[in-house]
Amino acid sequence: MSLGPEDRGVLEKIIDGAIMEIPTQMLAFRDPRIMELMAIKEQNDLIIGMALGYIVGRFLTYFFANHIRVATFEELLEVYQVVLKRSAELRSAMFKPE
């Protein structure tokens, strides 16, 4: 199975929301106390990982609620492919002022 147009639209909106949140997340993780407390070495990797977790987690929650089943491996792969296509936008959001 592949994602339908409605599912893709929801996924795109979730990605848009994550892109908007990244500058705020960057501010929090610029604080050296937080970096030290969480033993973070690469701030950018952390932010991208958090965004990916947010996107996939939120989408899978939506998917289960709307389809009353878990996504198949193929559907999950499609989610990651959509996110990968927008990864440049996710990364550029890290350098936008809030």
Closest CA to 29 of 42, 11, 12, 14: 42
Kindly state the tokens that stand for 62. Answer: 């939506």
pLDDT at 68: 97
pLDDT at 43: 80
Degrees, nearest 5: CA angle 11-91-10: 5
Q: Give the span between the Cα atoms of 37 and 2, in whole angstroms.
A: 41
Residue 31 neighbours by CB under 8 Å, 6+ apart: none
Band (pLDDT 50/70/90 cuts) for residue 97 is: low
Q: Give the span between the Cα atoms of 55 and 51, in whole angstroms.
A: 6
Band (pLDDT 50/70/90 cuts) for residue 66 is: very high
- pTM for the predicted model, two decimal places: 0.86
Residue 86 neighbours by CB under 8 Å, 6+ apart: 15, 19
pLDDT at 34: 78
Summarize pLDDT for 23-65 with one digit per residue, the tens: 888 887 777 887 788 887 788 888 888 899 999 999 999 999 9
Environment class of residue 70 by beta-carbon count within 10 Å: exposed (0-12), middle (13-18) or buried (19+)?
exposed
Does residue 96 register a pLDDT over 80?
no
